[in-house]
Structure 1
Amino acid sequence: MHQPGQSESKPEIGVGRSDGKEDKITEMTHYEESGRGEEDEMTEDSSLVELRKSICNGDWNAVRLFFVFGNHPLDTIILSNEGSTALHVAILAAQYKIAEHLIEMMSETDLEKKTASNSGCHTALTLVAMTGRTHVAKCIVQKNNKLLTIESDQGFIPVTAACAKGHKEMTNYLYAVTPPDVLLSQNGRYGFDLLKEGMDKKILVQSLWNCGVADAMFEATKQGIVEFVVELLKVTQPLIFHNDDRRHVFMIAIQYRQENIFNLLYSINEEWRAHFLNQTDRNGNNILHVAGEMAPPSRLARVSSPVLQMQRELQWFKEVERIVPEWCKESKNNNGETPSEVFSNSHEKLVKEGEKWIRDTASSFIVVGTLIITIAFAAAITLPGGNAQNGFPNFSPGRPLAMFITLNAISFFTASTSVLIFLGILASRFAQEDFLEYLPELLGLLVYTILISIMAMMASFFAAVLIILQHRRWVIISITMIAIVPVTFVGRLRFHLLFEILFSTHAKGIPFNRKKGALAVVGRKLIEFFGT
């Protein structure tokens, strides 16, 4: 049994450490399911075999006769290899009425009986917590509330077991009756586990103080779970100010590029906003210094290329720069760096990667553009069917010929434009500010012109076929169907990059919500908390 005063075996508290909890939850589930309808190695006593069958079949009269008239102890072991008592079997077999009757008959000591070590050493209350049957848990707690703090081999107590299984009502009930000191951070990691599992299962336990709530709140901020953060801020107001590095929630949101959390900053009143914007962390970094730091790799990976990654980083920095006081822009941290210097130093490698990527990409496009120029120029001076002695085309002028000439000209001039854009990219200085709009726009124009030239080239080929084989429709239809394949492939391959560039550059890929009062429901809740 866990004793709050014992500290020699106390596990360490830490954010982001699972300590195998996921595997333990799987073990809990496996044991819970294996106990229902699956007869393991049974004891050789035929009367106990019959008792198990009676429990599983819901025959309370047979169970009562066994204990009352058979004078058997209520902690009788039914399964030799799992150590289950009659109460354990009833719970695992979902025979909750029988379980309630057995609880009434059992003593406090009987209820403390655990399953065997190979089954997790669960008490009856822990098993009930995993089933979500709150009324059965209440019966057990009324009889013996010591079970609330008895730990299983996997490190669970009833309230954390219920939360890990996702039972909201059971979790809230057990939290209300569990001794508060058991959840204190100095007495183990139960409080942190409760909040961590609650965050994963979207279960919020209200009024949690000094039990790892700060760790859980900052963990939720890192993951962008805005609803959880808002509710935690409501019940833990003092913990909004800083973590161990003296960074408040909005600094953490910027550090991990969580725009949904950052947008809450627009919903609070001017006094609170000024308070957060004027805070510095332990190293003298203000909120703009934090925006100048490199984003975590997991957030950068959400954008496909180094160019757009650098653009996203600049968008974050410019947005935070827009709202901070003037003094923040030139303020120096403990290393003597201004926010701009922090940004330049931390993103130096990304700038080089972006330059190399855009040069390589543009070079691959320009090879295609050069080939198209050559083909289009040759097609312009060598019309389908050739020319007569007078210099006019052998085929009579008409719509197909005009379409061929027009499409071929479009292909030629768009490919030529792509070459000029490529020269513009090569002549760029590749400064940090160029990655915000200039370079992405050039790259977008390059992709756009290449796509147009390829499609126009293929359409002009179709027009040439139409001129030559104008009386053979089945051939024309067949060629058209075949032409759809490369057009679809090219479009799928390159239109994605084009749309991503356009969205990130012109549609402002980061959904910063600057309009006060236009936020979602969670934003309005935070407005109510801080005042308007």
Structure 2
Amino acid sequence: MASMLGNEDKLKRELYNAILKEDVGKVIELCEGFDDHAMHGLTIHGDTVLHVATYSKQTGLVLRLLEALHHHHIHKITTSKNVSGNTVLHEVATLDDCSVEVATKVLEKAPELLSMHNKLGESVLFQSARYGKIKIFNFLADKIKISKYDEDTMNSLIQRNDKTTILHIAILAHQFGLALNIARRFRHIIGEKDQDEMTALQLLSCNPSAFKPVHRRGSHVRNLINVPESRGYALDLAKVLVEEDTSWKCTSYNVDLSRPKPHKYGRHSTRSNASSADEKKVPERQEFVSELAKLSAKDSSSNVNLSMSKLPKYGCSGVLSTDETGGSSRQPLKQGGVTPLFLATESGCVEIVKEILNIYPQAVEHIDDEGPCILLVAIKYRQLEVFEYVSEMEVPMRWLVRRLDNNGNTILHMVGMPIHVYVPEKMLGPALQLQEELLWFERVKSVTKEAFVCHQNDMKETADGLFATTKSELRNSARDWLIRTSEGCSIVAVLIATVAFAAAYTVPGGPDQNTGLPVLLNHPFFVVSTATDVLSLACALTSVVMFLSILTAPFRLEDFKHSLPNKLMPGFTFLFFSVVMMMISFSATIILVIHGKERWTKILLHSLSFLPVGIFALAYFPLFLSLTKTHKHLLKKIKGAFHCHRWFPTVSRDNPEGEHFRSQDTSQTKQFSV
């Protein structure tokens, strides 16, 4: 018995090696030694010879094995599954080339494989969508169409056990071309939800990378070509999905009862008293709102819609409620998840946001069950492009800017709200990150109604106070970063100034013994050496002054907006120029000393002298790019102070990067009146 098992293991080993070596003849010969031929189990995971030959992409071998399979072994094709429950056709669905030819041959042998599932409930059609195989997917979809399965069987073929459909899995696999094909073929599954209550459009709205051009370094040329195609498919897919989506209709209707609270005094001045008072006043507020709703319903001229209607696919029902601060009486939503409009706004899928608002412009007034509107979401997650796009809608902005969420937070409060989702890190130091936050606060403040600037939320916090509290850790990091940077750069600048000062009293070539004048006074490089040495000394000392002014600053929160970054940029610039001037002076001095040497010696010395400059420039180039934004703002201030449009014509041009840091002049900012 042991001998028989040993012989079988030996045959399996030889057979497995033959498949790996793509020795078709030997594989066919060894399969004859098994009773069940190619359907014999080969691996420890239950894969048969036909399974292994299929996922090893040996099309010729698979076809030969199918032809050599005896008639009385054909039924084993449907019963032979690996530990994952995959049949041979499941493995065929993962192939690229010649997959249709192999699938045709397999279905001729066992057509019932088309409706079989693995342990996850995945059909062969689902398997092909999961791996993004468009050719085999279209082939299997056509086969399923002509097979005329009943509705239950059809649903099981396009959806697995966890309710994930073929459209969901194609989007999750970033196969947007295939997903577009699925959305057009099976339009009835566009609104289907998975076990997380997510539709296909919601999944796409969480994937901003699908709409952004990607530059892949070192990848194959084919990948570079597929990137723009994939982005185009994603845009077309978004259009198809948005047309079928009406989730924005399920909104939290509100009555504008906004009453800004600029103080924390009154009958209940403490948080504990206020919260207890709120609990006592809940029935009174509900009764008040109910009466208001009745009056509004009687008034035919009222612009407030308080009806509770059931919308297609999304049920909207609830009771009216309000809060003490304000803002609104509303109907809480009872649908699961966040709508695609808000998901796209949160993740930065601007294309989906624009598509939804282009097809359904009234969707801009959508409010979810937590109270925020699209403007509040865009501000909280720092989505500048969405913010600007919505800001251009003058009529909706009159209402959106005064909208409060359930906690009484205004749009200005949203700037200070902490973000509890992952945000990719930027190439910015803590000080520049804090500056970015301060400028974003200033930008939002420019469109905030004056009555809401000092408004307090339910926690008795103004927008300024909330911002200062939530950014305190970042402020401390920014202060420490500026101190460390300024101290290190000051030391370097002082060393450069010391060397430059000493070099100023060292005459290249020495003085003339008779006249006392430098021997090389009339040489062109003597002037270069002297001038660059003086410039190096001047730049180094100026840099020291700038960094010392940072070290002695009070580090107020307001200082991080313009004052400190405006000092850091000139400090780095003068330090860089001092290094460059010192290297030029050094190079010119060496040339004066060895001016009679060969030409290659001069070239070598030039190259070596500028090596530190190149390393310094490369190391601090990302920081320079970040500081450039501050520099542009400084030029704008100079232009505004002296009205020198003629001297700074380029400053007035719009810049996508600089626009984010643009200081909003209240006299030039569009005010949204009620």
Q: Which residue in 2 is equivalent to 1:485?
A: 611
Of 569, 577, 587, which aligns to 1:462?
587
The answer to whether structure 1 residue 95 and structure 2 residue 100 are counterparts is yes
Normalised by the length of structure 2, the TM-score is 0.59
Q: In the alignment, residue 123 of structure 2 is paired with which amino acid?
A: T
Q: In the TM superposition, what are the counterparts of 1:48-447 in structure 2 within 5 Å?
A: 76-77=78-79, 79=81, 94-95=99-100, 112-115=115-118, 117=119, 120-127=120-127, 129-130=129-130, 131-132=133-134, 133-134=137-138, 136-137=140-141, 139-140=143-144, 142-150=148-156, 152=160, 156-165=164-173, 166=175, 167-173=178-184, 175-178=186-189, 183=192, 188-189=195-196, 191-192=198-199, 195-196=202-203, 200=207, 202=234, 203-204=237-238, 205-206=241-242, 207-208=244-245, 209=247, 210=314, 214-233=338-357, 241-268=366-393, 270-294=394-418, 299=423, 301-388=425-512, 392-398=516-522, 399-447=524-572
The SS at the match of 1:371 is helix
Partner of 1:3: none
Query: Structure 1 residues 47, 441: CA separation in 2 closer, same or farther (over 3 Å shift)?
Result: closer
2: distance between equivalents of 1:510 and 1:265?
20
* Aligned-residue offset at 1:308: 0.3
The change in CA–CA distance for 1:199 and 1:149 in structure 2 (over 3 A counts) is farther
Rounded Cα–Cα distance in structure 1 between residues aligned with 2:625 and 2:489: 17
Query: More helix by proportion, 1 or 2?
Result: 1
For 1:97 and 1:298, locate their aligned partners in 2 and report how far apart those are by CA, in whole Å: 44
- Which letter maps to 2:571? L
Change (3 A) 1:495 1:161: closer
For residues 546 and 515 of structure 2, what CA distance do their matches in structure 1 show?
36
How big is the alpha-carbon RMSD for the aligned residues of Structure 1 and Structure 2? Answer: 4.3
The aligned counterpart of 1:521 is none
How far did 1:238 drift?
5.6
Distance apart, 1:296 and its partner CA: 6.3
Q: Give, in whole Å, the separation in 1 of the partners of 2:472 and 2:205.
A: 40
Cα deviation 1:166-195 (Å, max 9, x = unaligned) = 222443146523496xx358xx33644673
Deviation at 1:349, TM superposition (A): 2.2
CA gap of 1:97–1:369, structure 2 versus 1, over 3 A, is: closer
Q: How many residues align?
A: 464
Cα gap change, 1:199 to 1:440, in 2 (>3 Å)? closer
8 Å contact kept, 2:535–2:581: yes
Bigger CA drift: 218-227 or 479-488? 218-227
Q: Could you tell me how far 1:364 is from its partner in structure 2? A: 0.9
Residues of 1 paired with 2:553 and 2:36: CA distance? 87
- Structure 1, unaligned runs of 5 or more: 1-37, 515-532
Between the aligned partners of 1:482 and 1:450, the Cα distance in structure 2 is 20
CA distance in 2, matches of 1:177, 1:90: 27
* Partner Cα distance (2:88, 2:419) in 1: 56
Query: For the residues of structure 2 that align with 1:323 and 1:473, how far apart are their CA atoms?
Result: 68
Does the CA-based 8 Å contact 1:77-1:83 persist in structure 2? no
2:371, 2:404 within 8 Å by CA — same for their partners in 1? yes
Whether the 8 Å contact between 2:525 and 2:589 is mirrored in structure 1 is: yes
Paired letter, 1:406? A
Q: Secondary structure at the match of 1:334?
A: coil
Report the AA paired with residue 189 of structure 1: D
With 88-97 and 367-376 compared, the bigger mean Cα shift is at 88-97
Distance 2:190 2:490 in 1: 70
- 1-structure distance, mates of 2:419, 2:488: 29
Question: Which whole-Å CA distance do the structure 2 matches of 1:366 and 1:506 have between them?
Answer: 24
The amino acid that maps onto 1:152 is: R
CA distance in 2, matches of 1:196, 1:337: 35
Q: Is the 8 A contact 2:201 2:340 kept in 1?
A: no
Report how far residue 125 of structure 1 moved. Answer: 4.2
